[in-house]
Amino acid sequence: MNFRQPRFRNGLLLGAAFLAGVAIGPTASVLGRAVAQDHSRAEASQFLKVFGDVFERVRAEFVDPVSDKEVLENAINGMLTGLDPHSSYMNAKAFKDMQVQTKGEFGGLGLEVTEEKGLIKVVSPIDDTPAYRAGIKSGDIITALDGKTVLGLSLNEAVDRMRGIPNSRIVLTIKREGADKPLEIAVIREIIKIRVVKSRMEADNIGYVRLSQFTEKADAGLRAAVKALRAQAGGNLRGMILDLRNDPGGLLDQAIAVSSAFVEQGEIVSTRARHTEDSQRWDARGSDIINGIPLVVLINGGSASASEIVAGALQDHRRAVLIGTKSFGKGSVQTVIPLPGGGAMRLTTARYYTPSGRSIQATGIIPDVLVKDSREGPASFGLERESDYNRVLSNSGGTPAQILPPRTDLPPIAKQIPDKPPEGFPKFDPLKPGETDFQLQQAVVLAQAMIRQRSAAR
């Protein structure tokens, strides 16, 4: 690994000059920094001694024998999880599991989860997995596994317990908004083969593409789906809907590639790290694979990270109209750093910014057309957005979202689209999306209006 060397050299030399009576004026501030560094090092040395004392006391007096490895792994994980919600330690097994998951195939239930206040929160169920078919929803709080509380478990430990032998059964105890009592949902484990892209044709030759996760297969799957839709439409694909709802994100390079599939030139995303030389910018690297036809993007509170990069880029470039509800608001970058022994640490190393300079950290992407999926009010408990976490990373360094100029390219019907379903609208059924998915219905209406507007402008 290429660790940055401590930057003490200039400070010590200038400090020595000051003590010799050579330097005056501004150099005093350098001496102040050197003194502060010395104090910091002394304080660190003191706490390392405390750590050693605690370690020895645990080894000698904890009620049950405990291995040194277990104690030290817990200490490392505590160091990282105490920084922000997304930094963590992965032992060798957890690191291997993560590598398998990014390739799009792994064993388990098919849930994207996170941890808050000792409980496990569902970010989103993955399409066509046991968890999805069992009816587990984004926002559900998992309080117990097979009747045993998850309190006291790390996120990795909870995930490990949810994984298991294919065809084995596990019961999840769920706390859900609107439910009077905890729900017990039995799920049968499977080998999870993530189908990251699904597509079909909607009315008026409007292609629909659902992207459920940004694995290594996302960009290739998207391009294959568009090619198939164009063939199905006889070369007359008139519009497209990209569904990023409940897409928890994934690989940064795939977010850039997917954005580049619709944006021909210009910035896609930039990252700003602690040190200026580590900041980066990525530009579009392709051509618009749908040749400028109207594009509508669906987002909601489960759209996070890579999904928000894509949504933000398409919104800033005015390449798409966003419809749905505000996204999750995860605007930070995690670097996975392999460690000796086969493990790794996931460390938050930067914030990312949309092409207009917005940081969406803890704020999210606000859709151009607000449409809720149900008439229910906001949840009254649990995590809903990044901003609900403890130790959340601050939103800083970007341009305020409100300085963006208002959109003037929306069809007039955008103002008439209702922001929630009418009374008596049927409950969502994944097997009947055309009849029960209100947000998708409004996305089709919007796409049809954009097609008419484009035709009239020719």
In angstroms, the Cα distances linking 213 to 290, 307, 443 are 21, 8, 20
340 and 415 in a common domain: yes
Nearest to 409 by CA among 336, 325, 314: 314
270 and 355 in a common domain: yes
3-state secondary structure of 374: coil
CB 212 within 8 A of CB 247: yes
Question: Does 132 reside within a domain?
Answer: yes
Question: Distance from CA of residue 84 to its chain's centroid?
Answer: 14
In angstroms, the Cα distances linking 444 to 31, 247, 295, 438 are 65, 20, 10, 10
The bridge status of strand 141-145 relative to strand 119-125 is antiparallel
167 and 149 in a common domain: yes
Q: The domain spanning residue 187 has which CATH number?
A: 2.30.42.10
Catalytic annotation, pick one of 243, 259, 330, 368: 330
DSSP E strand boundaries for 155-279: 169-175, 183-188, 190-193, 197-202, 206-211, 239-243, 267-273
Task: Specify whether 394 is catalytic.
Answer: no
Catalytic annotation, pick one of 88, 305, 332, 359: 305
CB 323 within 8 A of CB 367: yes
Question: Does 331 reside within a domain?
Answer: yes
Task: Specify whether 316 is catalytic.
Answer: yes
pLDDT at 104: 60
410 and 452 in a common domain: yes
252 and 146 in a common domain: no
Q: Of how many residues is the chain composed?
A: 458
DSSP 390-458: TTPPP--SS--GGGSPPP--S-GGGGTS-SSPPTTPPPP-TT-HHHH-HHHHHHHHHHHHHHHHHHHH-
Question: Does 364 reside within a domain?
Answer: yes
Give dist(CA 356, CA 364) in Å, integer. 14
Question: Does 97 reside within a domain?
Answer: no
Digits of tens for pLDDT over the chain (458 positions)? 444 433 332 323 222 222 332 333 444 445 555 556 677 888 999 999 999 999 999 999 999 999 999 999 999 999 999 999 999 999 998 898 788 766 665 678 988 888 777 789 887 788 888 999 999 988 899 999 999 999 988 888 898 899 888 889 999 999 998 888 999 999 999 988 778 899 999 999 999 999 999 999 999 999 999 999 999 999 999 999 999 998 989 899 999 999 999 999 999 999 999 999 999 999 998 789 999 999 999 999 989 999 999 999 999 999 999 999 999 999 998 999 999 999 999 999 999 999 999 998 999 999 999 999 998 755 444 446 787 777 788 888 777 755 678 899 999 999 999 999 999 999 887 768 889 999 999 999 999 999 999 999 87
Choosing from 172, 193, 214, the residue where a domain stops is 193
Rounded to 10 degrees, the C-alpha dihedral 130/136/141/145 comes to -40
Q: How many domains does the chain have?
A: 2
Question: Does 265 reside within a domain?
Answer: yes
What tokens does 451 get? Answer: 């097609």
Secondary structure letter of residue 151 according to DSSP: T
- What angle is formed at CA 383 by the lines to CA 382 and CA 387, rounded to 5 degrees? 135
171 and 238 in a common domain: no
pLDDT at 452: 97
pLDDT at 402: 55
Question: Does 32 reside within a domain?
Answer: no
pLDDT at 370: 97
Choosing from 193, 223, 240, the residue where a domain stops is 193
Nearest to 250 by CA among 322, 320, 334: 334
Residue 281 pairs in a beta bridge with 270
Question: Does 232 reside within a domain?
Answer: yes
What tokens does 328 get? Answer: 């999750």
215 and 147 in a common domain: no
303 and 229 in a common domain: yes
- What domain range includes position 394? 197-457
445 and 322 in a common domain: yes
Catalytic annotation, pick one of 316, 368, 373, 437: 316
212 and 165 in a common domain: no
Q: The domain spanning residue 251 has which CATH number?
A: 3.90.226.10
177 and 109 in a common domain: yes
Nearest to 252 by CA among 302, 205, 201, 307: 307
372 and 301 in a common domain: yes
Choosing from 149, 177, 193, the residue where a domain stops is 193
pTM: 0.75
Task: Specify whether 359 is catalytic.
Answer: no
Question: Does 61 reside within a domain?
Answer: no
